[in-house]
Amino acid sequence: MITFFRLVDDGIPPEAASKSAIGTLPTDGYRYCEPLRTASSLGWYVYLPFDLWLVWDGSEIQWSIDEGDNWYPLAGAVQYPGFAGRFDEHAPERCAGYAPPFLTMSSEHNVLQIWTGTLARTEPGVFSLVRAPANLFWRTDFSVLEGVVETDEWFGPLFTNIRLRRMDAPIILRSEQPFIQVQPVSAAIVDRLGEEGPQVLEGLEALTDEDWTRYASTVVRRMQTRERLGDYAVESRRRHKHRAKAAPVGSQGRPAHGMVQPEE
């Protein structure tokens, strides 16, 4: 479904996102709340190659990659150390001199573009939602600005923008913690969202007999017969396993479309 190209090869390579949000979910949430687990594991974690320290004074940004021993002002854009030369050594002539920058200032003083050191390419019809890791951290010092990239056509640096929210103190982005989560999005759904709005039906009288039957199956049955917590999770995992077994097998013996087998 997706291929990552690591051009800056330090640090942790991209990996499947974790159902437990790397062990940070509440125990009951992980055991019984399948929507929480599914949202946490949807997509892939992408890491920075090394720790990045930032300080914003309200006007200018200083950055450091040696734990604050040396600070450099960010004015425009900077490259990963030594990367531009290595890029030009390997790139064909038509691409030489166009290495992606590591850090880029925006027109807003507290917004910064950061390149992860990777490129990404997805299957036709699959876009990439680039966002903060789902359910993993709640940072008050910066926030990730989400974006949807048409990575089935647009082949370039996988970067994101962050908004700095704390002044005059170091903001530390650790290389052992996922920096962003890349989630697959159907191009067809994105196109439909631009063409049609939601259908909203008002009042209880809008519910049909079929709707009430579904409600009874979903809510009433569980309230009347529930014997344990997490029955939705059990049923959801059973459905997921059934879909995975029924799906046509793609390359390398995996279900087509990158479907992941559920945990037992």
Looking at residue 28, its pLDDT comes to: 87
Q: Which three-class secondary structure string do you get for 126-150?
A: EEEEEECCCCCCCCCCEEEECEEEC
Contact between 174 and 133 under an 8 Å Cβ cutoff? The reply is: no
pTM for this prediction: 0.83
Report the C-alpha gap between 62 and 64 in whole angstroms: 7
Find out whether 82 and 203 touch, Cβ atoms under 8 Å: no
Return residue ranges of the chain for CATH 2.70.40.10: 2-193
Please state whether beta strands 111-122 and 103-105 pair in parallel, antiparallel, or not at all (unpaired).
antiparallel
Residue 105 to residue 117: CA distance in whole angstroms:
17
Q: Which three-class secondary structure state does DSSP give residue 101? A: coil
Question: What pLDDT shows up at residue 60?
Answer: 93
DSSP H or E segment with residue 105:
strand 103-105
Closest CA to 50 of 112, 142, 5, 117: 117
Name residues of the chain where pLDDT drops below 50: 250-264
Please report the pLDDT score of residue 145 as a whole number: 96
**Helix 34-41 vs helix 231-246: angle between axes, to the nearest 10 degrees?**
50
43 backbone φψ class: left, alpha, beta (φ>0; ψ -120 to 50): left
Summarised one tens digit per residue, pLDDT across range 113-170 is 999 999 999 999 999 999 999 998 778 999 999 999 999 999 999 999 999 999 999 9
Contact assessment for residue 175 and residue 12, using Cβ atoms and an 8 Å cutoff: yes
Fold (CATH) for 2-193: Deoxyuridine 5'-Triphosphate Nucleotidohydrolase; Chain A (2.70.40)
